Amino acid sequence: MAQLTLDELRKKRKEAQKEIYLREGKYKSKIIVHMGTCGIAAGAREIVSAFLGEIEILPEKDVMLTTSGCAGLCSMEPMATVELLNLPSVKYGHLTPDKVRRVFKEHILGGNIVTEYAIGIGSEKGG
Amino acid sequence: MLCTGTGCVAGGAFRIKETLENEIQKQGLEKEISVIITGCNGFCGQGPLLVVQPDEIFYGFLNPEDIPFLVQEHFLKGRPVKKLMFTPPEKKEPIPLLSEIPFFKKQMLVVLRNKGIIDPEKIDDYVARDGYTALEKVLISMTPDEVIDEITRSGLRGRGGAGFPTGTKWKICRTEQKTPKYIICNCDEGDPGAYMDRSVFESDPHTVIEGMILGAYAIGVSRGYIYARTEYPLAIKRMDLAISHARDYGLLGENILGTDFSFNLEIREGSGAFVCGEETSLIHSIEGKGPEPRQRPPFPAEFGIWDCPTVINNVETWANVPVIINRGADWFSKIGTETSKGTKIFSLVGKINNTGLIEVPMGITLREVVYDIGGGIPDDKKFKAVQTGGPSGGCIPYSMIDVPIDYESLTNAGSMMGSGGMIVMDEDTCMVDVAKFFIQFTNDESCGKCTTCRDGSDALLEVLTNITNGNGKEGDLEFLEEAGNAIKDASMCGLGTTLPNPVLSTLKYFRDEYEAHIKESMCPALVCKNLIKYYILPEKCTGCRLCLKNCPPGAIKGELKHIHIIDQSKCTKCGTCLDVCPTKVSAIIKVSGKETEKITGIEEPYPVKRREKEIKK
Amino acid sequence: MTEKVGAVAVLGGGISGMQAALDLAESGLKVYLVDNKPSIGGVMAQLDKTFPTNDCAMCTMAPRLVEIGRHKDIEIITLSDIEKIEGEAGNFKVILNKKPRYLNEEKCTGCGTCITNCPTRNKVQPLEKTKVELEPQYEEKVLEIIKINKDREGPLMAILQQINSAFNYLPENVLKYVSQEVGYPLSHILMIATFYSSFSLVPRGKHVINVCMGTACYVKGSERLMERLSDVLEIKENETTPDMLFTLKSVRCIGCCGLAPAAMIGDNVYGKLSTKDIPGIIEKYKTMG
């Protein structure tokens, strides 16, 4: 890729924002699996493949699956954050592939938060 | 009211503010509507956010382009804009707001603002969260001196532990005549129990890169190194990827963003030597020399890598730089205490309910960290101490739990800030054993250059080993103190001068535990193997054979439905029996000191039924 | 007590050698005290005080020096190297190589004038080197690694790291080869190779098990994990199983403190381990081969 100039960087930012804030585009929900070393050690890879398996069988691929770094609360790993369009995100902890399938069905497809596994809703406070 | 928490600022809150004010002015509404900046409300995932009072209408996911429409519709015509409205979640109890959960509530995310939100392997994610805007700002509107000045005014101090003012360090290096100059990011996070740097690399590598580019611009440097531990393969992989992405975008390399400023960055790996976290030793390691520290001064800022002026900063220090540039020194210096500004990341681990990585403002008390954020000690055990600062730090006892966390207070308490490991210990931790553990560590990692460090740690270790083996004698404690202070005075680098700290601080606060080991041959925490014994309580054993089957040395005698006994001469005190004994039975106990004499075991296994008969009688 | 026969050679005339010689001579044995330096005394003769007791070094040493010089049963042989030792306990034969002094020891006063006036004193005297050859399968790989890194600043670390991961350890021949090709003295390479804990000079197993001994893991009982592993694998720490499958090591901290106690097998991290999990995990790797 060619080097960017200042203006091009700004343009790039705007485009990227669309994706990260889940505003426009084809996706209506987004799953973030937290994959730092500790997440992986606790089994985050299995969680990713479980989510992938569920997305695979969807007729419409409107669920975005992405990974991210450690979410901080290592004792609850593996964790994932689920975001539906225009709704606050929900963090799930202590996940297993079975729990993943339930979260996928009830929350992502059905829109109902699986309260038993949820740690909290919204996001953390910034400075 | 416009949220300007770190999350929303990263999402572009300030640009929203600008457009909002312009638009309001355009419509002539200045008198009726005022834009107020607020702190974070916790819905950062939806940021940038806006709340319109008095109607309490939430707008989320704002873009500057939305503002004119919003102002026209809502403020002029009084119609709230549905499309932009943020729908508050339905109140369904057991799910609390994340920002209200104690673990998150007292934290303040500055360096970790992007953790868990962006994909660290995509540069676009970082750019979207206002990444590299600080770089834009600096390249367009700030001179190098202004950047240094901003950092100096912010009061940022080295996050590696020693707390040297970052701005001053940069200035020294900038004023050096000799060229070329270098900058280095120290990610040789050797302290056991600390993993902040790894986490920053793994969750947001670009913030470190941006910080380093800014530093390079300010100091006048065109080459930089990142020195990372080889024990962190994932962190290195992500950082490597991030560097190549930044290079693709022209954020690293020649003529950055079309200006005449150039900067190159490369990763160097360590190979597992604790002392390489020391800056002069780290430089030697990159150069391929024997990684022993050398005498300072001259400091690396004057005489560093390849004998050129070099600024070495910790990962967290670099990661703070873009935020300071973006939000200003004034904002940053409002956080924290008089002498320690900003936030600090700690890895809160050990015997604590919520283990994890936390970022808190300086000045928060240990009590808040342990009990509010950490959620207290598991299984209702008693809190004993917090160990901070890794092998160079000390243990802070319960009596000092209200000490505020800043550089000076921790040093006064006999510990130090260190890189940010915070290990909580409960009543089951033996302080003598912990001291021995750290001395073993430093003894192993001492490079061997100074006699005091090399042989002194040997001497300390020998005495500590004697004590934990039950062979301690009168005068041992005095010797530990004397030798400890001698090592402190006579060693050269940070490793040697701080290595006695764990011993000295535990001696100061937990002398009674040492004395119990020496005088009564007792380990109050039931840890030291030579001083404890395992017993099976005859009145509780059900004869299930679980412990018998699992005992590695085969020291347990018994048969099904017979009360088991441990052959003390064979027992290696591995504790497996205690682990496998079902909790509802819990027939196995550990005892130490005089207690061992009180327990009278049985001689031979006998049927459980016989005991029941005896009880009936 | 039986009468003592024979003689004892004490090799090294430092403070410990001196004391040993004295004790032996006092017990009635003939002692030869050998040192490769021109005089006995060793390092302690250069010190002011000794650690940790802060005793005066010379006060400790001087009486022994005098006593040795006077003892009828101690013969001092300086400037001598050991050429060969043969025999067995109780009957050794030691062949020494006494370096020439080119002066009459009887008359020398130790003034040092000859040293300062020696015309060849500061000339470098190169050693003759024999060329190291590698087996072809090694050579290709090593040359490639050297080629990638040669032009970087400070290439040695990277070269050693890559060799270490390519062969799973640092073979002696390869190090000699690197020394010859890149131009670092072998002593320097060995200094680096032995300094860092992730380098190994002996072959390691296919799976390196690193038990984390960081503080968090330690207080949560990683020592017991190590014991259990050592039981199951029937090797001690830093050893390799005979089938070359496993090497057991401890590591300082793998930064997985939230999941303490942890261990790393290869690049895979296992968190929240208990001694009960260990046999199963090892079995899994064994079937994998």
Do B392 and B494 meet the contact criterion of CB atoms below 8 Å apart? Answer: yes
Q: CB–CB of C275 and B271 under 8 A?
A: no
Closest to B326 in 3D by CA, of B22, B44, B47, B13: B13
Nearest residue on chain C to A71, judged by CA atoms? Answer: C258
Closest to A71 in 3D by CA, of A119, A44, A39: A39
Closest to C10 in 3D by CA, of C36, C31, C41, C38: C31
- Residue B91 has what pLDDT? 46
Do A72 and B116 meet the contact criterion of CB atoms below 8 Å apart? Answer: yes
Q: CB–CB of A37 and B198 under 8 A?
A: yes
- Residue B510 has what pLDDT? 93
Which of B6, B9, B15, B46 is the best substitution to test chain A (most A C-beta atoms within 10 A)?
A: B46
What CATH number does residue B351 fall under? 3.10.20.600
- Residue B245 has what pLDDT? 93
Q: Which two tokens stand for residue B591?
A: 């005892």
Q: Are residues B394 and B484 in the same domain?
A: no
Q: Are residues C240 and C283 in the same domain?
A: yes
What are chain A's partners, defined as 3 or more CB pairs within 8 angstroms? B, C
Identify whether B182 is part of a domain.
Answer: yes
How many Å lie between the alpha carbon of C5 and the closest alpha carbon of chain B?
38
Looking at B520, B543, B577, the residue that finishes a domain is: B520
Q: Are residues B364 and B508 in the same domain?
A: no
Do B440 and B461 meet the contact criterion of CB atoms below 8 Å apart? Answer: yes
C-alpha to C-alpha distance for C91 and C68, rounded to whole angstroms = 24
What CATH number does residue B91 fall under? 3.40.30.10
What CATH number does residue A110 fall under? 3.40.30.10
C-alpha to C-alpha distance for B153 and C130, rounded to whole angstroms = 62
Is B155 a residue whose pLDDT tops 80?
yes
- Residue B11 has what pLDDT? 65
Q: Find out whether the peptide bond into B89 is cis, omega within 30 degrees of 0.
A: no
Would you tell me which residues 11-40 of chain C have a C-beta closer than 8 angstroms to some C-beta of chain B?
Answer: none
pLDDT greater at residue B580 or residue B321 = B321
Mean pLDDT on C136-144: 86
Over residues C179-193, the pLDDT tens digits come to 888 888 888 898 888
Identify whether A18 is part of a domain.
Answer: no
- Residue B134 has what pLDDT? 92
Do B224 and B173 meet the contact criterion of CB atoms below 8 Å apart? Answer: no
Q: CB–CB of A38 and C259 under 8 A?
A: yes
Range of the domain at C172: 136-195
- Give, in degrees to the nearest 5, the angle at Cα B215 between B210 and B220: 130
Q: CB–CB of B355 and C258 under 8 A?
A: yes
Is B48 a residue whose pLDDT tops 80?
no
* H helix count then E strand count, chain B: 26, 17
Amino acid identity for residue C217 in this structure: C
Nearest residue on chain B to C187, judged by CA atoms? Answer: B290
Is B314 a residue whose pLDDT tops 70?
yes
Mean pLDDT on B530-545: 86
Identify whether A13 is part of a domain.
Answer: no
pLDDT over 90 percentage in chain B: 30
What CATH number does residue C255 fall under? 3.40.30.10
Q: Name residues whose C-beta falls within 8 Å of residue B314's C-beta, 6 or more positions apart in sequence.
A: B158, B159, B160, B161, B185, B186, B187, B197, B419
Instruction: Please report which confidence band the pLDDT of residue B261 belongs to, taking 50, 70 and 90 as the band edges.
Output: very high
Over residues B576-605, the pLDDT tens digits come to 888 888 888 888 888 888 777 766 667 778
Q: Which DSSP letter does residue A110 get?
A: T
- Residue A23 has what pLDDT? 53
Nearest residue on chain C to B447, judged by CA atoms? Answer: C195
Q: Are residues B298 and B230 in the same domain?
A: yes
Q: CB–CB of A16 and B234 under 8 A?
A: no
Would you tell me which residues 47-106 of chain A have a C-beta closer than 8 angstroms to some C-beta of chain C?
Answer: 74-75, 77
Q: What's the total number of domains in chain B?
A: 5
Identify whether B117 is part of a domain.
Answer: no
pLDDT over 90 percentage in chain C: 11
CA C29 to chain centroid, in Å, comes to 32
Is A70 a residue whose pLDDT tops 90?
no
Q: Which of A45-59, B214-228, C253-267 has the highest mean pLDDT?
A: B214-228
Side-chain half-sphere CA neighbours of C9 within 13 A: 19
Phi and psi at residue C168, to the nearest 5°: 70, 0
Mean pLDDT on B56-79: 76
Identify whether A68 is part of a domain.
Answer: yes
Amino acid identity for residue C123 in this structure: K
Over residues A19-66, the pLDDT tens digits come to 666 555 567 788 888 887 777 878 888 888 888 888 888 877 788 888
Q: What's the total number of domains in chain C?
A: 3
Identify whether A79 is part of a domain.
Answer: yes
- Residue B457 has what pLDDT? 92
Count, residues in chain B: 617
Residue B171's SS3 state is helix
Cβ atoms within 10 Å of B232's Cβ, excluding its own: 25
C-alpha to C-alpha distance for B562 and B542, rounded to whole angstroms = 7
- Residue B54 has what pLDDT? 65
Q: B6-26: buried (b, 16+ CB within 10 Å) or exposed (e) per residue?
A: bbbbbbbbbbbbebbbebbee
Residue B341's SS3 state is strand
Identify whether B276 is part of a domain.
Answer: yes
Sign of CA dihedral B593, B598, B603, B608: negative
Q: Are residues B404 and B450 in the same domain?
A: no
Q: Are residues B436 and B493 in the same domain?
A: yes
CA distances from C7 to B607, C2, C23, C75 (A): 67, 15, 13, 11
C-alpha to C-alpha distance for A121 and B91, rounded to whole angstroms = 11
Amino acid identity for residue C261 in this structure: P
Cβ atoms within 10 Å of C42's Cβ, excluding its own: 18
Do B271 and C199 meet the contact criterion of CB atoms below 8 Å apart? Answer: yes
Q: Are residues C187 and C231 in the same domain?
A: no
What CATH number does residue B465 fall under? 1.20.1440.230
What CATH number does residue C89 fall under? 3.50.50.60
Identify whether B385 is part of a domain.
Answer: yes
Looking at C46, C79, C100, the residue that finishes a domain is: C100
Identify whether A101 is part of a domain.
Answer: yes
Looking at B402, B429, B456, the residue that finishes a domain is: B429
Is A81 a residue whose pLDDT tops 90?
no
How many Å lie between the alpha carbon of C256 and the closest alpha carbon of chain A?
6
Mean pLDDT on C254-269: 80
CA C189 to chain centroid, in Å, comes to 13
What is the DSSP secondary-structure string of chain C?
-PPP-SEEEEE--SHHHHHHHHHHHHTT-EEEEE-SSSSS-TGGGG-SEETTTTEEHHHHHHHHHHHHHH-TTEEEE-SEEEEEEEEETTEEEEEEEEPP-SS-TTT-----HHHHT-TTTT---PPP-PPP---HHHHHHHHHHHHHHTTSSS-HHHHHHHHHHHHSS--HHHHHHHHHHH---HHHHHHHHHHSTT--SS---SEEEEEE-SHHHHHTTHHHHHHHHHHHHT--TT-B-TTSSEEEEEES--S-GGG-S-EEETTEEE-S--GGGHHHHHHHHHHH-
Over residues B287-299, the pLDDT tens digits come to 888 888 888 888 8
Mean pLDDT on B240-259: 91
Instruction: Please report which confidence band the pLDDT of residue C1 belongs to, taking 50, 70 and 90 as the band edges.
Output: very low
User: Can you tell me which residue has the tokens 């504790």?
Assistant: B575
- Give, in degrees to the nearest 5, the angle at Cα C124 between C119 and C125: 100
Over residues C42-85, the pLDDT tens digits come to 888 888 888 777 788 888 888 899 899 889 899 999 889 888 88
What does the mean pLDDT of chain B come to?
A: 85
Mean pLDDT on B354-368: 89
Q: Name residues whose C-beta falls within 8 Å of residue B94's C-beta, 6 or more positions apart in sequence.
A: A115, A118
Q: Are residues C163 and C211 in the same domain?
A: no
* B205 burial type by CB count under 10 A (0-12 exposed, 13-18 middle, 19+ buried): buried
Range of the domain at B15: 2-98
C-alpha to C-alpha distance for C78 and C59, rounded to whole angstroms = 23
Cβ atoms within 10 Å of B472's Cβ, excluding its own: 22
Looking at C195, C230, C264, the residue that finishes a domain is: C195
Mean pLDDT on C127-146: 82
A122: which chain B residues are within 8 Å (Cβ-Cβ)? 42-45, 89, 97-99
How many Å lie between the alpha carbon of B523 and the closest alpha carbon of chain A?
30
Is B36 a residue whose pLDDT tops 90?
no
- Residue B112 has what pLDDT? 86
Residue B461's SS3 state is helix
First-residue to last-residue Cα distance in chain A: 35
Is A1 a residue whose pLDDT tops 60?
no
Identify whether A103 is part of a domain.
Answer: yes
Identify whether B564 is part of a domain.
Answer: yes
Looking at B410, B429, B448, the residue that finishes a domain is: B429
Q: Find out whether the peptide bond into A59 is cis, omega within 30 degrees of 0.
A: no
Identify whether B404 is part of a domain.
Answer: yes
Pairs across A and B, CB distance < 8 A: 219
Query: What DSSP element (H or E) covers A83?
Result: strand A80-84
Q: Which DSSP letter does residue B256 get?
A: G
pLDDT greater at residue B482 or residue B87 = B482
User: Can you tell me which residue has the tokens 């073979």?
Assistant: C171
Is B329 a residue whose pLDDT tops 60?
yes
Q: Are residues B190 and B320 in the same domain?
A: yes
Count, residues in chain A: 127
Q: Name residues whose C-beta falls within 8 Å of residue C84's C-beta, 6 or more positions apart in sequence.
A: C94, C95
Identify whether B116 is part of a domain.
Answer: no
Q: Which two tokens stand for residue C128?
A: 């003759």
Is B92 a residue whose pLDDT tops 50?
no
C-alpha to C-alpha distance for C178 and C174, rounded to whole angstroms = 6
Do B185 and B197 meet the contact criterion of CB atoms below 8 Å apart? Answer: no
β-strand A29-34 against A63-68: which pairing, if any?
A: parallel
Cβ atoms within 10 Å of B136's Cβ, excluding its own: 17
Mean pLDDT on B144-167: 91
Q: Are residues B134 and B271 in the same domain?
A: yes
Q: CB–CB of C271 and A42 under 8 A?
A: yes
Instruction: Please report which confidence band the pLDDT of residue B208 belongs to, taking 50, 70 and 90 as the band edges.
Output: very high
Identify whether C127 is part of a domain.
Answer: no
Pairs across A and C, CB distance < 8 A: 27
Identify whether B245 is part of a domain.
Answer: yes
Q: What's the total number of domains in chain A?
A: 1
Do A125 and B44 meet the contact criterion of CB atoms below 8 Å apart? Answer: yes
Instruction: Please report which confidence band the pLDDT of residue B6 belongs to, taking 50, 70 and 90 as the band edges.
Output: low
Nearest neighbour of B286 by CB, restricted to C154, C220, C221: C154
Over residues B554-564, the pLDDT tens digits come to 888 888 888 88
Range of the domain at A85: 26-121
Is B4 a residue whose pLDDT tops 70?
no
